[in-house]
Chains A and B, each alone.
Chain A
Amino acid sequence: MDGYIAQQLLNGLILGSMYALVAIGFTMIYGIIRLINFAHGDIVMIGAFLTLGLVISGKISFPVIIILVFIGGALMGILIERVAFRPMRGAPQVTGFITSLAISILLQNLGILLLTAQPRNFFCPDYLQTIYHFGPVSLRAIDLGIVVTAVVLMIFLVLLVRFTRLGMAMRATAENLNVARLMGININHTIMLAFAIGSGLAGVAGMMWGGKYGQIDPLLGFVPGLKAFVAAVIGGVGSIPGAMLGGYLLGFGEVLFVGLLPPIYSSYRDAFVFTTLIMILLVLPNGLLGRKTEEKA
Chain B
Amino acid sequence: MDMLEIRDSHVYIGQTYVLKGVSLEVRHGEIVALIGANGAGKTTTLSTISGLTRSRRGKILFRPDPDTTQRDITKAPAEGIVKMGISHCPEGRQVFSDLNVWENLLIGAYLRKDKQAIQSDLQWVCELFPILRDRRRQSAGNLSGGEQMMLAIGRALMSRPRLLLLDEPSLGLAPLLVETIFEMLEQINAQGTTILLVEQNALMALELAQRAYVMETGQITLSGTGMELAENEAVRKAYLGAT
| A interface residue numbers (CB < 8 A to B) | 165, 168-169, 171-172, 174-176, 178-179, 181-186, 291, 296-297
Contact = CB atoms under 8 A, between A and B. Distances in A.
Contact of B110 (A169, A296, A297): A169
A183 B82 contact: yes
A174 B82 CA distance: 20
Contacts, number: 63
Contact of A179 (B83, B90, B103, B145): B90
B106 interface: yes
B241 interface: no
- 10 pairs of A and B residues whose beta carbons are closest in the complex: A184-B82, A184-B111, A181-B78, A184-B79, A179-B94, A182-B88, A183-B110, A184-B110, A172-B96, A175-B96
Given A165-B110, A182-B90, A291 B98 contact: yes
A171 B104 CA distance: 11
Contacts of B108: 183
Contacts of A185: 79, 107, 110
Contacts of A179: 90, 94, 96
A183 B141 contact: no
B234 interface: no
B78 A296 contact: no
10 contacts: A178-B90, A179-B94, A184-B78, A184-B82, A184-B83, A184-B159, A185-B79, A185-B110, A296-B141, A296-B145
Contacts of A175: 96-99
Contacts of A297: 92, 172
B96 A178 contact: no
A178 B141 CA distance: 18
A183 B98 contact: no
A232 to B, nearest CB: 17
Interface in B141-179: 141, 145, 148, 155, 159, 172
A181 B106 contact: no
A297 B145 CA distance: 8
Nearest to B86: A182
Contacts of A174: 98
B12 to A, nearest CB: 14
A182 B96 contact: no
Contacts of B155: 183
A182 to B, nearest CB: 5
A11 B181 CA distance: 59
B99 A181 contact: no
A176 B91 CA distance: 13
B50 interface: yes
A182 B141 contact: no
A168 B99 contact: yes
Given A184-B82, A184-B111, A186-B77, 16 more contacts: A168-B103, A169-B107, A175-B97, A182-B50, A182-B88, A182-B90, A183-B108, A183-B110, A183-B159, A184-B159, A185-B79, A185-B110, A186-B79, A296-B141, A296-B148, A297-B172
B227 interface: no
Interface in B69-122: 77-79, 82-83, 87-88, 90, 92, 94, 96-99, 103, 106-108, 110-111
Residue from A168, A174, A179, A291 having most chain B Cβ neighbours under 10 A:
A179
Nearest to A179: B94
A272 B159 CA distance: 52
B52 interface: yes
Nearest to B47: A178
Contact of A182 (B52, B99, B103): B52
Interface in B44-66: 50-52
Residue from B82, B83, B96 having most chain A Cβ neighbours under 10 A:
B96
Contacts of B99: 168, 171-172, 175
B52 A168 contact: no
B229 to A, nearest CB: 29
Contacts of B52: 178, 181-182
B115 to A, nearest CB: 11
Nearest to A174: B98
A175 B90 CA distance: 15
Contacts of A172: 96, 98-99, 107
Contacts of B106: 168
A199 to B, nearest CB: 23
